[in-house]
Structure 1
């Protein structure tokens, strides 16, 4: 099926869903649990520089997630989020098996592959990237 409309609609849906997931996670880290609690979790997981890492990860999730939703700098932010997920998989999920119920790699793997799809195929025509490229 080589239909540009279907491809662009699919990319839009994937971008919006991923963006909302990351905005929700970043928002939770900043405003619900707080950066201090997030840094504490990061320290328990053995993540280097837990406070700095908490700020970087939470800020990246919040800002990059919002940029994904609107489709601005899409390939760049999807790459950054894919790197963030790869690091989270290594530091947090890898030793817990496969299934999400055990804290395994199932969920981060789905996020990583979805972000990789955005990196490879771009934002699609329903994005600010496309609007700015036409100007």
Structure 2
């Protein structure tokens, strides 16, 4: 299993799925839920500068997700999205006592953003793989 083609294929699939998840969540903030309602949610959660934060989160998730899918500036984008996920975990998914809401159905569960954070860290550590724009540019 430690063959370059298998590793690159796995990184491609992993990067594409992770990127699509971010695109969907960002698009939802920008176009489905809308910035006004997202700003209200961010305000209720105590996110600082809720309107600016809503725009930053929506645009970063949508554009950053697309960049992950194609693999351009991958480690930089994964690092930036990891910081965004860390902020989301801190401001949204931790309870008032600073304790994560683990496994509560319908609660602000921390498992999903934590999984996204770990996935982004893996991309920062292992890179995008050869099946990416970054990989093609590195070989050129």
> Normalization by structure 2: what TM-score?
0.92
How far did 1:2 drift?
Answer: 2.2
Question: After TM superposition, what 4+ stretches of structure 1 lie above 3 angstroms from structure 2?
Answer: none
Q: What are the Cα deviations for residues 45-87 of structure 1, in whole angstroms up to 9, with x where unaligned?
A: 0000000000111110000000000000000000011110110
> Normalization by structure 1: what TM-score?
0.95
Provide the rounded CA distance (Å) in 1 between the counterparts of 2:108 and 2:6. Answer: 34
Query: Runs of 5+ in structure 2 lacking a partner?
Result: none
Provide the rounded CA distance (Å) in 2 between the counterparts of 1:97 and 1:30. Answer: 26
1:117 to 122, 125, 134: 122
Q: Name whichever structure is richer in helix by fraction.
A: 1
How far did 1:100 drift?
Answer: 6.2
Provide the rounded CA distance (Å) in 1 between the counterparts of 2:122 and 2:102. Answer: 21
- When the two chains are superposed, the root-mean-square deviation of aligned CA atoms in Å is 1.1
1:99 to 78, 97, 103: 103
Q: Does 1:86 align with 2:90?
A: no
